[in-house]
Amino acid sequence: MIIVDNALRRRAAEGNPIRVAMVGAGYMARGIALQIETAIQGMELVGIANRNLAGARSCFADAGVTDVSEARTRGDAEAAIAAGRRVVTEDPGILCRADGVEAVVEITGAVEFGAHVTLEAIDAGKHVVLVNAELDATIGPILKQYADRAGVVITNADGDEPGVTMNLYRFVDTLGYRPVLTGNIKGFYDPRRNPDTQKGFAEATGQEPKMVTSFADGTKLSMETCIVANATGFKVGKRGMYGPGPAHVNDVMEHFDGDRLLQGGLVDFVLGAQPGSGAFVVGYNDHPIKKKYMSYFKMGDGPFYVFYRPFHLPQLEVPLTVARAVLFGDAAVAPLAGPSCDVITVAKRDLRAGEQLDGIGGFTCYGTIENYEVSRAGDILPMGLSDGCIVTRDVKIDEAISYADVELPQGRLADKLRSELVSTFAP
């Protein structure tokens, strides 16, 4: 986004940096704080909300910021920010409501908590950047309705796979090549993974075992591809996607039927393919002269062409999403309208009546992507709402879990918003 750099430089020259607050202080949040404070002109991270204040202070300290104040009220936060000090607080609502904050980055990965934060920020007129695929995939389309009514931007983030994919999608579409297939480049996938199997990797990388499990068991992959599906109107070819394993992503079209793709775009992924990371978009153009140019520039013989980026760096690129929202009203990734796909709850092992589901990245279930109309027809429980549900009948391994199979926790905002989503958007 070259236009963003000049706009940020202007804000810096004017002494009027974009003031952003962040909710969450985990692994990725630390990288984002470091990036804003050490590399981004025209932007300041003025506050961090976290249930553990030591974690928030550590985020700032790693970024070289030592003049930090604790805010117990909105007034505390506004006074500190006006004086040029940074703020930490246990209450995210303080930062969502504080004057001077232009955007809120929600980075907790929690659905219920994230729903409360997002609605409060929207109600206060703040732009919201979601580094929370779990929330976005579950109720993103209805949150977008709230943001639109409030006149603010809600967007998923640059640098993570949905943002990489949508930037490519818009690029390919702008070039006049019709996007027909998008996907992640995935290195590992095993739905049987759990926090015990992933504990060592989590400790080695400074992350939480449940979060790392969601990467390995395919739940996060499904969340990310669902976000792209909802932003493009694309579908999945089958439950869970095909996930072929070409030697290189350039060979992905060996595994898909071009005629099928021309009937309507698909989201999917490749497994174990080089370059090993990033995302891809397949664009279609059968113009005979353009085909000759593409062949000359080593893009293949067409009419399907693979565009890819071999890396994703959310800790570096999330600030660019903030700038796009604040300076240009532009969302990196946002739902077109209602959901196109859904991430459904599937039993990770045989479950007995009376067991409690432990949600994303746990021992009991995993998420997989399905077309929304199929999910709704089966009244299947969204994975993002699975945590804390009590199973009311025995469920076999790899069996989808429906609303009829569980008792929901009482009083959750996320359930209310999901019901609103269902009533607003017919399949």
C-beta of residue 268 within 8 angstroms of C-beta of residue 242: yes
The rounded distance, in Å, linking the Cα atoms of 389 and 406 is 6
Of 409, 283, 411, 286, residue with least CA distance to 358: 409
> Of all helices (H) and strands (E), which one includes residue 10?
helix 2-13
Residues with Cβ < 8 Å from 63, sequence gap 6 or more? 33, 34, 36, 37, 38, 45
The pLDDT of residue 1 is above 70: no
Mean pLDDT of the chain: 97
CB atoms within 10 A of CB 80: 22
**Structure confidence at residue 426 (pLDDT):** 83
> Of all helices (H) and strands (E), which one includes residue 365?
strand 365-371
pLDDT in tens, 353-410: 999 999 999 999 999 999 999 999 999 999 999 999 999 999 999 999 999 999 999 9
pLDDT in tens, 90-108: 999 999 999 999 999 999 9
Average pLDDT rounded to a whole number, residues 266-277: 97
**Structure confidence at residue 2 (pLDDT):** 76
Structure tokens at 234: 């694309």
Average pLDDT rounded to a whole number, residues 294-300: 97
Residues with Cβ < 8 Å from 309, sequence gap 6 or more? 164, 168, 278, 279, 280
Structure tokens at 41: 């002109």
**Structure confidence at residue 248 (pLDDT):** 98
* Angle between the N-to-C axes of helices 219-232 and 133-150, in degrees from 0 to 180, rounded to the nearest 10: 30
Structure tokens at 116: 């409360």
Q: How far is CA 62 from the centre of its chain?
A: 25
CB atoms within 10 A of CB 208: 16
pLDDT in tens, 138-195: 999 999 999 999 999 999 999 999 999 999 999 999 999 999 999 999 999 999 999 9
* Residue showing tokens 């400790």: 203
Strands (E), 221-278: 266-271
The rounded distance, in Å, linking the Cα atoms of 324 and 321 is 5
The rounded distance, in Å, linking the Cα atoms of 278 and 205 is 19
pLDDT in tens, 304-327: 999 999 999 999 999 999 999 999
HSE-CB of 124 using CA atoms within 13 angstroms: 23
Q: Residue 221 is which amino acid?
A: L
Q: How far is CA 256 from the centre of its chain?
A: 26
Q: How confident is the model at residue 427 (pLDDT cuts 50, 70, 90)?
A: confident
Of 198, 24, 209, 51, residue with least CA distance to 118: 24
The pLDDT of residue 206 is above 90: no
Of 358, 345, 361, residue with least CA distance to 395: 345
